[in-house]
Each structure stands twice: as C-alpha cells, then as structure tokens.
Amino acid sequence: MKYKFFLSLVCIGLAFVGLWLGIRLLSPLFKPEKNGREIPAENTQELMKKRGETILREQYNRSLIVAYQKMLEQYPESLDLKKKLANAYLAAGEKEMAEKLLKEISEAEKKPSPR
C-alpha cells in the first residue's frame, strides 16, 4: 500500500516537472511585443509561426557552422569550405567571424598558386 502511494507521488511530481519544462521551453514563443503591448489574438498564430521559423533557421545555421568547422579541420586549405562557412556565419548573424574568414579568403586568393 505504501509503495503505491509513493509511486503515485512520484508520478505526480514528474508530471509537474514535465509541465514546468514545457512552459519554460515554449515561453519565448509567447512573449509580448517589446513596447509591452498585448498581441492581438489574430496575430498570435502568425507570430508563433514566424518565431518558430526563426528558431529553426538559427538551429540550422548553427548546425551548418559546426559541420563546416569540422570539415575545415580535415581540409584547412579549402577556400570553398571557408566561403560556405562565411555564408553560414552571415546567416547566423555572426558578422565578425564572417568578416575574418572573408579577409582570410581574399588574402589566399591574392597569393599565386604553386604549380
């Protein structure tokens, strides 16, 4: 009998933890506008869609950056990979990293190729 009571308390606790995590993860989708006004109900679905697309795009760009960085470790002289990484940095909003890489690419392209 005590075992069933304890098990039910654990299940209830886990349900609350799951609910809390769900709210924490989804709350960025429901933030009010920056000026503090309430968002009209008809715009909520459109706003959620746009924020969801933004989150997906950011995650995609981060994945691309990681993949290109790993490939550059294997082929550090590849200008094509560096160009793709620079584009991924720009898409992710990391302009400084993109500029650094683009300068590196332009310097490498100015050097005469060994024949």
Looking at the structure of the chain, the number of domains it has is: 1
CATH, residue 59: 1.25.40
73 is in which domain, residue-wise? 50-110
- In terms of phi and psi (left: phi > 0; alpha: psi -120 to 50; beta: otherwise), the region of 48 is alpha
The answer as to whether 72 is a domain residue is yes
The answer as to whether 29 is a domain residue is no
The answer as to whether 35 is a domain residue is no
pLDDT at residue 103, rounded to an integer? 94
pLDDT at residue 57, rounded to an integer? 75
SS3 77: coil
The three-point CA angle 34-38-40 to 5° equals 120
Residues 46-88: tens digit of each pLDDT = 777 777 777 777 777 788 888 889 989 998 989 998 998 998 8
Q: Is the pTM of this model over 0.95?
A: no
H-type alpha helices, 27-94 = 41-74, 79-92
pLDDT at residue 102, rounded to an integer? 92
The answer as to whether 75 is a domain residue is yes
